[in-house]
Amino acid sequence: MYSEDDYLMISGIQHFLFCRRQWALIHVEKQWADNVLTYEGQQLHTRADEPKLREKRHDLLTTHALKVHSPQLGLSGICDIVEFRQDPEGAKLFGRQKRYQPEAVEYKRGRAKWDLSDTYQLLAQTLCLEEMFSVSINQGWLYYFETNKRQKVVFTAEQREDLKKKVDEMHQYWAKGYTPKVKTGKWCQRCSLKDICLPELLKNRSVPDYFQRRLTE
Ligand code: SF4
């Protein structure tokens, strides 16, 4: 069980999958956290409002901006939307007679990606919901603005295991305060931190070392 101080942000999983160094620059070194996370927060969660249950139909409740966490995985985050569908096998909700099965819905700017970053972010939210509500949840939903499509994502046992391993690796880096060295590739061209990561200059150095050297030159 992790303490709240060691919870890592679910939104960081997409950075970690893209490049471990990018994730560490943002989440471990926190040198660029304000810029990147503030921008992402504005872009992705402009719809967020106070969490409260809303009844859409008699068998469906929705909640926006629900804070979720998992002491077992040491993760926390905010779900864009969680839908609670009436289900006798579902969770007991405060103030409700019936039981409800929760499923996360995550909104994304572009279109479906070739990698698993959106799926793993949704799965991490789902693992938190499972722990918070003591239920098993097989699926979630990704909604892409560009294509205006809502896509069902059914999680596999392999994805669950793989995500847990990656989150474990994130915690190891976090505990050691470790930022992986630069490993350049064509993916660097798409990296929002490429100007500050300085991949060619920093192949064998850390960012603080680099700036220290620049300041003393
Ligand atoms: S520039 Fe390349 S090595 Fe540096 S953080 Fe971005 S993807 Fe990673």
Residues with Cβ < 8 Å from 151, sequence gap 6 or more?
A: 112, 141, 142, 143, 144
Domain boundaries, the chain: 4-178, 181-217
The pLDDT score that the predictor gives to residue 167 is 98
The pLDDT score that the predictor gives to residue 145 is 84
Virtual torsion, Cα 52, 55, 56, 60, nearest 10 deg: 100
Between the CA of 144 and the centroid of ligand 1 the distance, in Å, is 26
Nearest residue (CA) to ligand 1, atom 5: 22
Between the CA of 142 and the centroid of ligand 1 the distance, in Å, is 27
- 57 forms beta bridges with 60
DSSP state of 71: T
What's the pTM value of the predicted model, to 2 decimals? 0.85
Atom from ligand 1 closest to the CA of residue 22? 5
Between the CA of 20 and the centroid of ligand 1 the distance, in Å, is 8
**Over its length of 217 residues, how does the chain's per-residue pLDDT go in tens digits?**
999 999 999 999 999 999 999 999 988 887 665 555 556 555 555 544 455 667 677 789 999 999 999 999 999 999 999 999 999 999 999 888 999 999 999 998 788 887 899 999 999 999 999 999 999 999 999 999 888 889 999 999 999 999 999 999 999 999 999 999 888 888 888 887 887 787 666 555 665 665 566 556 5
Between the CA of 194 and the centroid of ligand 1 the distance, in Å, is 6
Number of H helices, E strands in the chain: 7, 7
Ligand 1 site: residues with CB under 6 angstroms? Answer: 19, 21-22, 25, 182-184, 187-188, 191, 193-194, 197, 199
The pLDDT score that the predictor gives to residue 113 is 80
Nearest residue (CA) to ligand 1, atom 4: 197
The pLDDT score that the predictor gives to residue 48 is 45
Strands (E), the chain: 8-9, 53-57, 60-70, 75-92, 99-108, 139-144, 149-154
Tell which residue, 118, 120, 114, 103, has the closest CA to residue 161.
120
- Classify domain 4-178 by CATH number: 3.90.320
The pLDDT score that the predictor gives to residue 114 is 79
